[in-house]
Chain A
């Protein structure tokens, strides 16, 4: 039914209704990520960490409407799309080609992907990067990295053209953010106390609630990536339940083997890893293989976290392990276990088509190289113009006070109300030598 309507260039009300809801679900993922990240940092950086995600909503929505969407989804150029859809030109109630939903809905749905991906990268630089340069970085990154990668795998670019299957964004969202995060951590550098003091998460409950809300939103993220209520979306929706649950189970076992206890923050991480792992594969593999993917995906990400914490690389919130590596696993998994009887598109190696694995390997190699290289160059360029981080004194005081003039847990004791007409020139924002 959907296919017939799509061919006729008609809007389907059922599909549109689902996609409107799915878009809202995906938008929720960004504040959910903010909560997840905020719980993982120290108390004095809670708001700044959350605000990097909120800031991403502001910045990435604007860049997406201006040029990002057009560069990703206009035409089938090899590297980038055209500018016919810039500033939402030609984006209206008519269905997006190949779908049965109005292009306006398609635009919004894709915008929420760009937003959450920008927010993901912030996890590498929290607790030290200055807020202004981060917003500038977000704006440029959403165009130079996200829109380009989205074009490669969703918009008809060279990866899609050579047969790479990527259901909901293993390339632009997961590997794109994960390997960019590694580059960002290297350019910005580690926190001043990293490796010298224990820098602990300040609220594990936030982390768990954030992970839960992310999982909830992910049903829209994967379930909506079929752009209809047809079979691919339904399969993706169910797989989004199965895979993370299996990752969670395996992660608990890994935790038990390594430390004899099941940790709460480990469990929250496992949920993310599972959701990421199934993202590229959601509409392409059977539910049974999705469960296997969940179990398999836990291992490389778990090992990456164990390895990363032993290095000097302060990729603070392990975006590489949770997103880059799990996305990599998911992309390759499709090449082996995709089955035509479930997805109607292609078989993987296990079902007799070795060529599909080849297409997946190309994506799994090209994406990290581009994301890492471009992010590294972009941040170096910004660094030449503006310092990326503040003084040690600022870092000690905490980003909340320095960049936002607020505290997450202000007690109000000793606070004196300044009357609107009052003179605040006497008081400086931050304690300085008299």
Chain B
């Protein structure tokens, strides 16, 4: 089992959701984050005060999947989030020690498999 963490542009979040749906990846969580990933800063001006905005808004997907779903998930994230310009984001894949589904107490593989599939 792996935890796939994808950090993408906010305006690409809907495309990623669509791609995940098509890849039949059903369980994930999503949060709004701010970060910096090597893109050049933008300058904003507020009543004459110029500021350099070092943080860009991003959306962070967290998707816990069984091993055979890692590759489809990564592909879905790339498909949905890519624009080809700096700032598209990154995907981190980290090993998962344990997973528990709270409702049933199922663990590990059973817990990361959507209901209705085995």
Contact with A along B49-72 (1 / 0, CB 8 A): 111111110000000000000000
Tell me which residues from 64 to 87 in chain B have a Cβ below 8 Å from any Cβ of chain A.
Answer: 83, 85-87
Beyond A416-B52, A418-B52, whether A427 also contacts B85 by CB under 8 A is: no
- Interface pairs A-B: 4 shortest CB-CB: A414-B55, A431-B39, A414-B54, A396-B11
* Contact across chains for B42 and A401 when beta carbons are under 8 A apart: yes
Q: Determine how close the nearest CB of chain A comes to the CB of B41; give it in whole angstroms.
A: 5
Tell me which residues from 1 to 29 in chain B have a Cβ below 8 Å from any Cβ of chain A.
Answer: 9, 11-12, 14
Residues of B within 8 A of A (CB-CB), count:
27
Instruction: Return 29 A-B CB contacts under 8 Å, by A number.
Output: A197-B14, A396-B83, A401-B42, A405-B43, A405-B44, A405-B45, A406-B44, A407-B44, A411-B34, A413-B55, A414-B34, A414-B55, A415-B52, A415-B53, A418-B50, A424-B43, A428-B41, A428-B42, A428-B43, A429-B42, A431-B39, A431-B42, A431-B85, A431-B86, A431-B87, A432-B40, A433-B85, A434-B38, A434-B39
A385 within 8 A of B: no
B90 within 8 A of A: no
Question: How far, in whole Å, are A396 and B52 apart by their CA atoms in the complex?
Answer: 20
Residues of B within 8 A of A433 (CB): 85-86
Question: How far, in whole Å, are A397 and B53 apart by their CA atoms in the complex?
Answer: 14
A430 within 8 A of B: yes
* Contact across chains for B86 and A410 when beta carbons are under 8 A apart: no
Residues of B within 8 A of A401 (CB): 42, 44
Residues of A within 8 A of B39 (CB): 431-432, 434
Q: Determine how close the nearest CB of chain A comes to the CB of B43; give it in whole angstroms.
A: 5
* Contact across chains for A406 and B49 when beta carbons are under 8 A apart: no
Question: How far, in whole Å, are A418 and B42 apart by their CA atoms in the complex?
Answer: 12
Q: Determine how close the nearest CB of chain B comes to the CB of A213; give it in whole angstroms.
A: 24
* Contact across chains for B85 and A418 when beta carbons are under 8 A apart: no
A392 nearest CB neighbor, chain B only: B83
Question: How far, in whole Å, are A241 and B39 apart by their CA atoms in the complex?
Answer: 54
Q: Determine how close the nearest CB of chain B comes to the CB of A78; give it in whole angstroms.
A: 49
Residues of A within 8 A of B (CB-CB), count:
28
Extra 8 A-B pairs, beta carbons < 8 Å, given A197-B14, A405-B42: A410-B44, A413-B34, A414-B34, A415-B52, A416-B51, A418-B52, A424-B50, A431-B86
Question: How far, in whole Å, are A410 and B50 apart by their CA atoms in the complex?
Answer: 13
Question: How far, in whole Å, are A59 and B14 apart by their CA atoms in the complex?
Answer: 37
Q: Determine how close the nearest CB of chain A comes to the CB of B35; give it in whole angstroms.
A: 9
Residues of A within 8 A of B85 (CB): 393, 431-433
* Contact across chains for B54 and A416 when beta carbons are under 8 A apart: yes
Question: How far, in whole Å, are A430 and B56 apart by their CA atoms in the complex?
Answer: 11
Q: Determine how close the nearest CB of chain A comes to the CB of B22; give it in whole angstroms.
A: 14
* Contact across chains for A393 and B83 when beta carbons are under 8 A apart: yes
Question: How far, in whole Å, are A410 and B51 apart by their CA atoms in the complex?
Answer: 11
Q: Determine how close the nearest CB of chain A comes to the CB of B40; give it in whole angstroms.
A: 5
B36 nearest CB neighbor, chain A only: A414
Question: How far, in whole Å, are A417 and B38 apart by their CA atoms in the complex?
Answer: 19
B51 nearest CB neighbor, chain A only: A415
Residues of B within 8 A of A415 (CB): 44, 51-54
B39 nearest CB neighbor, chain A only: A431
A424 nearest CB neighbor, chain B only: B43
Q: Determine how close the nearest CB of chain B comes to the CB of A44; give it in whole angstroms.
A: 8
Question: How far, in whole Å, are A44 and B13 apart by their CA atoms in the complex?
Answer: 15
A412 nearest CB neighbor, chain B only: B51
Q: Determine how close the nearest CB of chain B comes to the CB of A323; give it in whole angstroms.
A: 30
Residues of A within 8 A of B83 (CB): 393, 396
A433 nearest CB neighbor, chain B only: B86
> Which of A197, A427, A434 has a CB less than 8 Å from the CB of B42?
A427
* Contact across chains for A427 and B52 when beta carbons are under 8 A apart: yes
Q: Determine how close the nearest CB of chain A comes to the CB of B17; give it in whole angstroms.
A: 10
A406 nearest CB neighbor, chain B only: B44
A420 nearest CB neighbor, chain B only: B50
* Contact across chains for B40 and A434 when beta carbons are under 8 A apart: yes
* Contact across chains for A427 and B38 when beta carbons are under 8 A apart: no
B11 nearest CB neighbor, chain A only: A396
